[in-house]
Amino acid sequence: MLSLVIDGFEFCRQKENRAGRFAVSDLPRLAEETADRSGDIGWNAEGSVLASGHPRIKLSVSGAIGLICQRCLTSYEFRLDSGSTIVLARSEEGVDELESFLDDDSIDVIAGDTPINLAELIEDEILLALPVSPKHEQCPSTQALDKLKNAGKRSPFAVLKDLKREK
């Protein structure tokens, strides 16, 4: 497990900005979801403080991941480009309260009083951005197969009719 531990409150107060790349193979939960554990993901974490005084971390991730298409079971490249906003509560007890105060489903609230492993947050972010049921927009192998199937479904008479019409 990669470890990139920060003090969340400090990170936001100092308006720190960190960026890097993680190999897919170094993120075990993600690697399990991929076709071949190859590739890497670029990430960026930016600390700031909301007008309300709450510390905020903005995360973004991007890269290409090889996933297995659920339709044809071959691999395809999924383009990842996602981001999220995380606001820190004073403690675990304050998470629910802050969530209802912010009243914004696009914001995640976590406790900031214990050290935060950025690597884990980044992996969470990537996992949430993956398609639930990954599929090619158009599967390369079934495309040819479908054509054959459809051609086979037509009766010889229908084909003859078409031929006559074309004359």
Interaction site with Zn ion (CB under 5 A):
69, 71-72, 136, 139
**Rounded Cα–Cα distance for residues 167 and 164 (Å):** 5
H-run or E-run covering 124: helix 118-129
Least distance between Zn ion and beta carbon 14 (Å):
46
Query: In 3D, which of 5, 46, 39 has the Cα closest to residue 22?
Result: 39
Nearest-approach distance from CB 131 to Zn ion, in angstroms: 12
Give the other-Cβ count within 10 Å of 141's Cβ: 13
> Which C-beta is closer to Zn ion: that of 2 or that of 130?
130
Least CB distance to Zn ion at residue 76 (A): 6
Q: Is 154 left (phi over 0), alpha (psi -120 to 50) or beta?
A: beta
83 SS3 class: strand
Residue number, 69 or 88, with CB nearest to Zn ion: 69
Q: Which is nearer to Zn ion, 71 or 90 (CB)?
A: 71
Cα–Cα dist 129/149, whole Å? 35
Nearer to Zn ion (CB atom), residue 61 or residue 69: 69
Q: In angstroms, what is the minimal distance from the CB of 71 to Zn ion?
A: 5
Query: Residues 109, 90: contact at Cβ < 8 Å?
Result: no
Residue number with CB closer to Zn ion (69 or 109): 69
Least distance (Å) between residue 90 CB and Zn ion? 47
Structure tokens at 164: 């006559």
